[in-house]
Chains A and B, each alone.
Chain A
C-alpha cells in the first residue's frame, strides 16, 4: 500500500495521559500536514512540515501538542496531559510542494477518545 498510513487507528485513553500518533506519508511527498476533525466539522489545520522543517503551527496547537518529522520522513503528533476536548479524529495528509493539483492525500485518521 503506497498511501498515507496512520497508527493507531483508534486510541482510548484516560484524561491526563499522553498519547502519540504516527503518520507515514507517501514516500515522494515532501509536505506533511496534521489536521483535527470533530463530528460535523471539516478538517482544522494544526501544523505542517516541508521536509523536516515545521513551517507553520495553528493557534489550535496548544503547548500540550508537539509534532516532529525527523529526517523528513514519518511524523509523530504527541498530545500531553490529554483533556476530554482533545477527543477528535487526527488526520495526516501529504503532498508535493506544488499544490497546483490540489491533491492533498489523506490517511484514514487516528481517532482519539479521552475518557
Chain B
C-alpha cells in the first residue's frame, strides 16, 4: 500500500462547477499537508498548506484535513478553465520528508 493514495482521474467539469479532490494516507506521522498545482510540462507550485485538522480557505480554494480519518480534500469553487492542471497532494512526516500523491488531472471546460 502506498503511503499516499490519490485518485488520478481524469476529472472533467464545466466552468463554474465545484471541484472536490481527495487524498488518503496511512502514516500517522504525517503532520503537514499541502496541495500543489502542476501545469503541463512545468514544475509543481504550492497552492495550499495546513498542519491541523479543519478547513483553510484562500479565495476560491478550501483545503480540508481530517486527521482522524487520514483524509484530505481540496475544494475549488467557481472553477475556471485556468484551473485545468494536475493537482498533487503532499505530506511531510516528522523527518521533514515529502510524500506526494500521484496527482489528479483536472480539465475545466468553458
Q: Give Cα A33–Cα B63 distance, bound, in whole angstroms.
A: 25
Q: Are B98 and A106 in contact (CB under 8 A)?
A: no
In the bound complex, how far is the Cα of B96 from the Cα of A103, in angstroms?
12
B: contact size bracket: 20 to 34
- Rounded to whole Å, the gap between the CB of B59 and the closest CB of chain A is 18
Q: List 5 A-B contacts (CB under 8 A).
A: A43-B100, A93-B43, A102-B51, A106-B44, A108-B41
| Prevailing SS type, chain B contact patch | strand
Q: Which 4 A-B pairs have the closest CB atoms?
A: A106-B43, A42-B100, A102-B49, A102-B34
Chain A interface, number of residues (Cβ within 8 angstroms): 23
A102 pairs with B32, CB closer than 8 A = yes
Is B102 an interface residue, CB under 8 A from the partner?
Answer: yes
Report which A residues bind B (CB closer than 8 A). 4, 33, 40-45, 56, 91, 93, 99-109, 111
- Pairwise interchain contact B43-A45, C-beta atoms closer than 8 A: no
